[in-house]
Structure 1
Amino acid sequence: MTQPQHDSRALRNALGRFATGVAVVTATDPDGHPIGLTVNSFSAVSLEPALVLWCLDNKSHNLEAFRRASHHAINILSVEQQDISNRFATWPADRFVSLPWQHGAGGAPVFPGCCATFEVANETAHAAGDHTLFIGRVERFGERVDLAPLLFHAGRYAALTADQED
């Protein structure tokens, strides 16, 4: 049942057994252009003060822009937004073309139709292995209780069944 620690593919597969929600984290780069990417590494940290975190691969071409951004938005995708998840997981592409969004705190793009959205002031970033951990202070948030979340499990999208909701 156990695998050697150095087997990164086996480790990734085992980590994938933890079902997560899917989010798109957005910000504006130093030139004012919107940036964003799909993540499943979002988590609550604290209620007082309201802090959340997410992680970004250190090889990401957006790493420095996210470090320098004053704010970012965490858009928790609904089951109807799988296409947005795919769009923001693909590179290179102009991810914002023909996609409706609004300016949130600090100009970070906020998408309509999400289960929840968190507009976050970028508090700190910590190196953690091959990723950078971003911790932010929630300034504004909203939720839609009528929408089911998009989930990711074992390398595939998933959704709650009707009897699992509420």
Structure 2
Amino acid sequence: MERSLLTRTMARVPGPVTVVTTLDADGKPWGFTASSFSSVSLDPPLVSVCLDKGASTHAAFTTARHFLINVLAEEQHTVARRFATSGIDRFAAGDMETCELGLPGLHHTSVRVACSMHSIVDAGDHSILIGRVEEAFTSDRTPLVYYNRSFARPASNPDRAEQDIRASHIADW
């Protein structure tokens, strides 16, 4: 498969925008932006996020015991950009606070999922971090979505959603 075709194709698949954080053995905070977050299992409760092996944060996360996934709210696109930028102090803005499991996080996110490291799976040029969910936080804030190489807000039309739900029941096999 041609790399540019795969990149264009995957850009058309919307994903949640997350900032994933951890602390290393010396207590130094680390973080990165990802849109590859998903649920893996309910029993045990597992989630996954992907991290580029070439990222400056890779060693910190692959040796971490815990990590926190902050699903950003729609107005937090500047935080996403900051944590996607290399060569800067991503924590210098002072907006991170101690959250679940004592990890650095954002208090005004859509969702936070605190994990212990369950396993790390080799996946080509990325590592898949699989975390066992230890604690979670949810709010009513609308999540930030990454779609077609830009940030977006999920569409919300309650009437349309109700129609879609009814249609899916009709189409069930």
TM-score by length of 2: 0.87
Could you say what secondary structure the match of 1:72 adopts? strand
Structure 1 residues 105, 143: closer, same or farther in 2, change over 3 A? Answer: closer
CA distance in 2, matches of 1:106, 1:35: 15
Could you say what secondary structure the match of 2:76 adopts? helix
Root mean square deviation of aligned Cα: 1.7
Could you say what secondary structure the match of 1:66 adopts? helix
- Determine whether 1:150 maps to 2:144: yes
CA distance in 1, matches of 2:36, 2:107: 21
CA distance in 1, matches of 2:98, 2:116: 14
Within a 5 Å distance, the mapping from 1:17-166 to structure 2 comes to: 17-145=12-140, 147-163=141-157
Q: Is the 8 A contact 2:99 2:107 kept in 1?
A: no
Aligned length: 160
Amino acid at match of 1:59: G
Map Cα deviations across residues 109-139 of structure 1 (whole Å, 9 max, x no partner): 1211100000100111011111101101111
Structure 2 residue ranges without an equivalent (≥5): 162-173
Superposition misfits of 4+ residues, deviation over 2 angstroms: 98-108, 160-166
Map Cα deviations across residues 57-86 of structure 1 (whole Å, 9 max, x no partner): 111121111011110000000001001001
Map Cα deviations across residues 23-49 of structure 1 (whole Å, 9 max, x no partner): 000001232111100000100001111
Kindly, what percent of the aligned residue pairs are identical?
A: 34
CA distance in 1, matches of 2:121, 2:155: 37
Structure 1 residue ranges without an equivalent (≥5): none
Tell me which moved more, 95-104 or 27-36.
95-104
Structure ID, larger Rg: 2
CA distance in 1, matches of 2:60, 2:155: 38
CA distance in 2, matches of 1:8, 1:16: 12
Q: Is the 8 A contact 2:15 2:35 kept in 1?
A: yes
Shift of 1:104: 3.5
Q: Is the 8 A contact 1:72 1:105 kept in 2?
A: no
